[in-house]
Amino acid sequence: MSIRVRRIYDPPEPDDGVRVLVDRLWPRGVSKEDVHIDEWPKAMTPSTELRRWYHAGEGSYEEFQHRYEAELAEPEAAELLDHIRKLARRGPVTLLTASKAPEQSHASVVAGLLKSK
C-alpha cells in the first residue's frame, strides 16, 4: 500500500495516484482549478474544536494524535477512512494538507492509521 503525505502547495506529480485533501477548510491561496483533488472527505478531518485546541498550542502532538484517533473511530469518519484504505489497496494515495509541518499534522495521523490496518 502506497500512502504519502504532501503539502497541497506542491505541484501534482504523476505518481500521486488518488489525491485526497484531508483539511476541513479549503487552503488559502489555492485555486480549485490549479490543483487536482479526487476526494475531500471533510467528515474525516479533525473537528473545529480539536483543530483550534492544537493550533493554540494547548497540548502536545501526542495528545492531539490520541484525540484525533478517537474522532476517526466515530462511525462516519471510520467509514471514510475505510474508503481511503480501499483506494490505497488499489494504487497510490496522496494525502494533501496545507500544514506547514505535515509530519506533525493530522495528515500524518491519517497516514499512520491507513498503513497500520
Average pLDDT of the residues in 29-53 = 91
pLDDT at position 104 is 86
- Please state the domain count of the chain: 1
pLDDT surpasses 80 at 117: no
CA angle 86/93/31 to nearest 5° reads 125
pLDDT band at 22 (very low <50, low <70, confident <90, very high): very high
Query: Which has the closest alpha carbon to 71: 99, 100, 41?
Result: 41
pLDDT at position 94 is 97
- What is d(CA 93, CA 111) in angstroms, rounded to the nearest whole number? 10
pLDDT tens, position by position, 49-76: 998 998 888 788 999 999 999 999 999 9
Range of the domain at 65: 3-116
pLDDT tens, position by position, 76-113: 999 999 999 999 999 999 999 999 888 889 999 999 99
Residue with cell 483506494: 87
Query: Is residue 84 a contact partner of residue 39, using CB atoms and an 8 Å limit?
Result: yes
Residue with cell 492544537: 54
